[in-house]
Amino acid sequence: MVFSKVFALAFTGLKDELLAAQVETCSAKAQLEVEVALNRRLRTAISDLSTSWEVEPMDESKEEARGDALVDQLCYLGAMLRDLVRDALHIGVKWAMAVVCSGFSYDMEVVSHGFVTDISKTDAENEERLHALIDDVEVPGERLAKLFEPEVLPPETSSGAGEDGEGRDAD
Q: What are 76-120's pLDDT values in tens digits?
A: 888 888 888 888 888 888 888 887 777 778 888 888 888 888 889
Rounded distance between C-alpha atoms, residue 46 and residue 16, angstroms: 45
Please name which of 61, 60, 81, 84 lies closest in space to residue 72, comparing C-alpha atoms. Answer: 60
Per-residue pLDDT, 34: 94
Rounded distance between C-alpha atoms, residue 62 and residue 75, angstroms: 16
For residue 3, what pLDDT band results from cuts at 50, 70 and 90?
low
Q: Is the entire prediction scored with pTM above 0.85?
A: no
| 76 touches 63 (CB < 8 A) | no
Under DSSP, is residue 63 helix (H, G, I), strand (E, B) or coil?
coil
Per-residue pLDDT, 166: 44
Return mean pLDDT, the chain. Answer: 79
Per-residue pLDDT, 42: 87
Q: Where are the alpha helices (DSSP H) in the chain?
A: 2-52, 69-103, 108-111, 123-136, 138-152
Per-residue pLDDT, 144: 84
Rounded distance between C-alpha atoms, residue 120 and residue 77, angstroms: 47
Please name which of 155, 156, 152 lies closest in space to residue 92, comparing C-alpha atoms. Answer: 152
| 70 touches 36 (CB < 8 A) | no
pLDDT tens string 112-170? 888 888 889 999 998 998 889 888 888 888 888 888 788 777 776 654 444 444 444 44
Per-residue pLDDT, 167: 44
Q: Angle at the Cα of 57 (from 91 to 31), degrees rounded to 5?
A: 125
Please name which of 78, 113, 116 lies closest in space to residue 93, comparing C-alpha atoms. Answer: 113
Q: Angle at the Cα of 160 (from 151 to 34), degrees rounded to 5?
A: 150
Size of the chain, expressed as the number of residues it contains: 171
